[in-house]
Amino acid sequence: MKKYKQRWVIKAGSSLVASSKRGLDDSFILSLVKVVKELKDRDVEVVVVSSGAVAQGMYDLDLNTRPQSLPLLQASAAVGQLGLINLYQNEFKKFSIQSAQVLISHSDIANRERYLNARHSLNTLLSLNVVPIVNENDSVATDEISFGDNDSLAGAIAGLINANKLIILTDQEGVYTSDPNKDNSAKLIKQINLDEDSFSLSQINLEGSGTLGRGGMITKIEAAKKASTTGCVTWILKGDKVKEILDSESNLSGTKIISNKNSLQSRKQWIVSRGKSSGSLVIDTGAVEALKNKGTSLLPVGIISCSGKFEKGDLISCFDDKENEIALGLTNFSSQELQKVIGLKSEDLSSKLGYLVEEEVIHRDNLVLS
């Protein structure tokens, strides 16, 4: 069995793949398939994360605007997915490449067992020299469990398979300092280091999503954060320059996003990949110091406030009093329980709630620093 040198995830946005007015863009998909073929010839394994099912479904159903009704959105996705995957399959067959459809929902990533099953499935397809074409399972997804955009899904997939590179193809040149359509002085940011203290999302333009897409630049930054946990480098690149990814990195346009952090252990990769938080905590200075510099668990005594509705085992975010995200983790308490024990010492928890509970709100093994 052929051993590949690298693994890449390539995400294609809705505006590139399909339009509600013209349907699927055959020429773009063919250009993407040719690039994947060339990468495979260079011993690079590729997973394609493709949007476009809803847009194609809107075209097939003669809908002019993205459905606001969940059932109609699901129906559009179900109709469009068939045409989308058939076009990819036909184009790959021209180069004697076998492809496969993989539909993933948020719950497939959030559940530990299904997360591992999804990873095994993708790894097996890659080992068989198959190109997986991944899309969110919009035909059955609900607002509560969906990723909300395929950028987040692509970031999760990159972490899932330990990819070396994530390429996010979009209708923009990359990340700008401000909206280039409104500000002539806007500048393209060539590189972002997620670890630099000076880096702030407030310093860049996070707008920019067409009527068909659900994600702007902020979802692409968040996807890069997820991918970076396994050492993956992310490029945000304009779709019509897809052939550039065959060149050396020094010749690539767009925005490169890097991190110097070490790869996380398997369980913590899973935690980061779970997607949206169900709630948030504000923690005090002492708790921030303990989490960041001492590697401790989060205790109720260090919590200032709690927001959102969540259950035991859900993913929640921790912020300092200046609204900076400090960590993500799996909670041992529901939001209802936590509201009752905020600020309490460990020895007082059981008497307050009337039953035995864990001492830690988030155990250090289930916590990932942001």
Mean pLDDT, the chain cut into blocks of 10 residues (370 residues total): 81 86 91 97 96 90 86 89 95 97 84 80 95 82 54 90 93 83 84 71 50 60 85 92 85 86 71 84 96 94 96 92 93 94 93 90 90
Question: Quick one: 244 and 341 in the same domain?
Answer: no
3-state per-residue secondary structure call for 256-274: EEECCCCCCCHHHHHHHCC
Question: Residue 128, class by beta-carbon neighbours within 10 Å (0-12 exposed, 13-18 middle, 19+ buried)?
Answer: exposed
Question: pTM for the full model?
Answer: 0.76
Q: Residue 318 sits in a domain of what CATH number?
A: 2.30.130.10
Task: Provide the residue range defining the domain that includes 359.
Answer: 277-369
pLDDT on residue 146:
52
Strand 131-136 relative to strand 44-50: parallel, antiparallel, unpaired? parallel
Does residue 45 lie in a domain region?
Answer: yes
Is residue 146 a contact partner of residue 136, using CB atoms and an 8 Å limit? yes
| Per-state percent for the chain, helix, strand, coil, to nearest 5 | 40, 20, 40
Does residue 105 lie in a domain region?
Answer: yes
Q: Which DSSP state fits 89? A: H
Question: Quick one: 256 and 299 in the same domain?
Answer: no
**Of 104, 102, 77, the residue nearest 88 (C-alpha):** 102
Does residue 186 lie in a domain region?
Answer: yes
Question: Quick one: 340 and 205 in the same domain?
Answer: no
pLDDT on residue 213:
39
Question: Quick one: 248 and 283 in the same domain?
Answer: no
Does residue 297 lie in a domain region?
Answer: yes
Question: Quick one: 227 and 328 in the same domain?
Answer: no
pLDDT on residue 272:
78
Q: Can you tell me whether residue 209 is helix, strand or coil?
A: coil
Q: Residue 234 sits in a domain of what CATH number?
A: 3.40.1160.10
Q: Which DSSP state fits 249? A: G
Does residue 106 lie in a domain region?
Answer: yes
Q: Which residues neighbour 112 within 8 Å (Cβ) at sequence distance 6 or greater?
A: 270
Does residue 1 lie in a domain region?
Answer: no
Domain tally for the chain? 2
Question: Quick one: 314 and 187 in the same domain?
Answer: no
Question: Quick one: 207 and 283 in the same domain?
Answer: no
Question: Quick one: 264 and 332 in the same domain?
Answer: no
pLDDT on residue 204:
58
Does residue 175 lie in a domain region?
Answer: yes
Question: Quick one: 190 and 263 in the same domain?
Answer: yes
pLDDT on residue 136:
82
pLDDT on residue 294:
93
Question: Quick one: 164 and 293 in the same domain?
Answer: no
Question: Quick one: 298 and 252 in the same domain?
Answer: no
**Of 289, 151, 262, 250, the residue nearest 208 (C-alpha):** 151
Does residue 265 lie in a domain region?
Answer: yes
